[in-house]
């Protein structure tokens, strides 16, 4: 089946309001949440922690579709071809542990996630695989807060800090969805994504590349921009629980 670059289609069809690539991630994530019946806003919060950046044009903070994390460093790119070229350069040097896209899917730990690199950086394919992976994780945990931490790592100390960040972001993402429902763009996304098959899932593990501590990095040179996946979070984070979410959202 011929792959269709849905993010590119959305940029062409959806108009100026969708010229911000972060919105491509948000629409794809909303669609994936809906398809998989994942609590609204949870994947949005995960995406924000995984690939969040502040748009240089609008100042709005959100997930970014063309970002990679490898060798303890992350970089943002202006488009999919630039990100793909960077991944190929890394692979040419023998680097295999590479996180990709809106939801930072690791190409080594999830080798069957995508048919090719173009699909890895397509927001719909990336978000859909992440949704399927979350569902698999939650089948045994039955607690979305625990599942959110294990999306990143099953090592307790790593999962705990990550979970705190996701849960801190979640209420704001719920509020955002209420203020800005995907509406017509979500319908467009759904229509154009029908030809995209669900990827085969790898055995359940985690998406972490094992380099969590190295995500706080100086700005890297080259075509990409430095990524600290946890920087500039517009939420307060402390050592205590701060999330006032209904219990029905956390258990299933």
Q: Does residue 206 register a pLDDT over 80?
A: no
Judge whether 193 and 3 are in contact, CB under 8 Å: no
pLDDT in tens, 50-78: 999 988 777 888 999 999 999 999 999 99
CA-CA distance, 101 to 124, in Å (whole number)?
A: 10
The model carries a pTM of 0.74
Q: Which distant-in-sequence residues (6+ apart) come within 8 Å of 105 by Cβ?
A: 99, 113, 114, 120, 126, 129, 130, 207
Judge whether 179 and 171 are in contact, CB under 8 Å: no
pLDDT in tens, 81-129: 999 999 999 999 999 999 999 999 999 999 999 999 999 999 999 999 9
Model pLDDT, residue 41: 97
CA-CA distance, 219 to 122, in Å (whole number)?
A: 25
Tokens representing 244? 């006032």
Model pLDDT, residue 57: 78
> Residue 216's pLDDT band (boundaries 50, 70, 90)?
very low
Model pLDDT, residue 172: 94
pLDDT in tens, 38-51: 999 999 999 999 99
Model pLDDT, residue 237: 30
Read off the pLDDT of each residue in 141-161 and give the average, rounded to a whole number.
Answer: 95
Q: Does residue 186 register a pLDDT over 80?
A: no
Domains in the chain: boundaries: 6-250
> Residue 241's pLDDT band (boundaries 50, 70, 90)?
very low
CA-CA distance, 168 to 110, in Å (whole number)?
A: 27
Read off the pLDDT of each residue in 30-43 and give the average, rounded to a whole number.
Answer: 96
Query: Regarding beta strands 225-226 and 52-54, do their DSSP bridges make them parallel or antiparallel, or are they unpaired?
Result: unpaired
Judge whether 157 and 164 are in contact, CB under 8 Å: no
């Amino acid at each position: 089946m011929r792959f269709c670059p849905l993010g590119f289609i959305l940029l062409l069809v959806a108009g100026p309001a969708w010229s911000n690539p972060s919105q491509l991630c948000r629409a794809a994530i909303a669609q994936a949440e809906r398809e998989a019946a994942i609590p609204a806003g949870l994947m949005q919060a995960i995406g924000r922690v995984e690939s969040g950046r502040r748009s240089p044009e609008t100042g709005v903070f959100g997930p970014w579709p063309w970002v990679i994390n490898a060798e303890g460093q992350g970089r943002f790119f202006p488009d999919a071809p630039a990100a793909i070229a960077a991944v190929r350069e890394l692979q040419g040097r023998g680097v295999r542990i590479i996180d990709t896209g809106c939801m930072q899917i690791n190409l080594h730990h999830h080798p069957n996630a995508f048919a090719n690199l173009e699909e890895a950086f397509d927001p719909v394919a990336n978000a859909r695989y992440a949704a399927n992976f979350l569902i698999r994780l939650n089948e045994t945990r039955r607690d979305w807060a625990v599942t959110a931490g294990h999306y990143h790592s099953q090592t307790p100390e790593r999962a705990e800090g990550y979970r705190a960040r996701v849960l801190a972001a979640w209420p704001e993402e719920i509020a955002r969805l209420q203020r800005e429902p995907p509406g017509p763009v979500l319908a467009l996304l759904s229509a154009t994504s029908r030809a995209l098959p669900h990827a085969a899932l790898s055995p359940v593990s985690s998406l972490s590349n094992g380099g969590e501590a190295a995500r706080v990095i100086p700005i890297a040179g080259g075509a990409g921009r430095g990524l600290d996946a946890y920087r500039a979070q517009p939420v307060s984070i402390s050592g205590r629980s701060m999330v006032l979410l209904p219990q029905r959202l956390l258990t299933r």
